[in-house]
Amino acid sequence: MRLFLDANVLFSAALNPGGNARALFLLAEHRVVGLVASRFAIEEARRNIAVKHPERREELESLLASLELAAEQNPSLLAIARAAGVVEKDAPILGAAIGARVDALVTGDRQHFGHLYEVLVEGVQVFLPAQALARVLDGIHDT
């Protein structure tokens, strides 16, 4: 399973070593999942860490090293994201996830993505970190 991580998930993973977002990185270390992010998401996470928790910068950079970098999305994918009801500032996130052909977009942004939780958009399901973790763990138990 390949998961696209939104900036808030990257931020949370760097901030909380015991949280659901960080657990996804642990699973990736064991090659249970693949983790993907875009430059857009990474830069947003870096900005937020620098402002809110600069002491966690190294932790974030360490986590970023394990990610696959998604290609920048094209305008047609941005249009699909907008049509799905995603606000302009977050359209590049869903667009990049679709373009990367991941299984899921993992985001804690309930305000802008909440209407899409557990919905399939162009082959990509949208999950909270806890939902994504549960899906991955369920898949492990089913094998």
pLDDT digits (tens, 9 = 90+) for 25-57: 999 999 999 999 999 999 999 999 999 999 999
C-alpha distances (whole Å) from 74 to each of 50, 51, 83, 143 are 29, 30, 15, 36
- Take residue 133 and report the two structure tokens written for it: 């973790």
Residues of the chain with pLDDT under 50: none
- Alpha-carbon distance of 93 to 124, in angstroms, equals 12
- Alpha-carbon distance of 3 to 68, in angstroms, equals 10
Question: What is the pLDDT at residue 143?
Answer: 57
Structural domains of the chain, with CATH: 2-142 (3.40.50.1010)
- Take residue 16 and report the two structure tokens written for it: 């909380």
Question: What is the pLDDT at residue 82?
Answer: 95
* Contact by Cβ (8 Å): 2, 103: yes
* Contact by Cβ (8 Å): 68, 39: no
Question: What is the pLDDT at residue 42?
Answer: 98
- Alpha-carbon distance of 67 to 139, in angstroms, equals 21
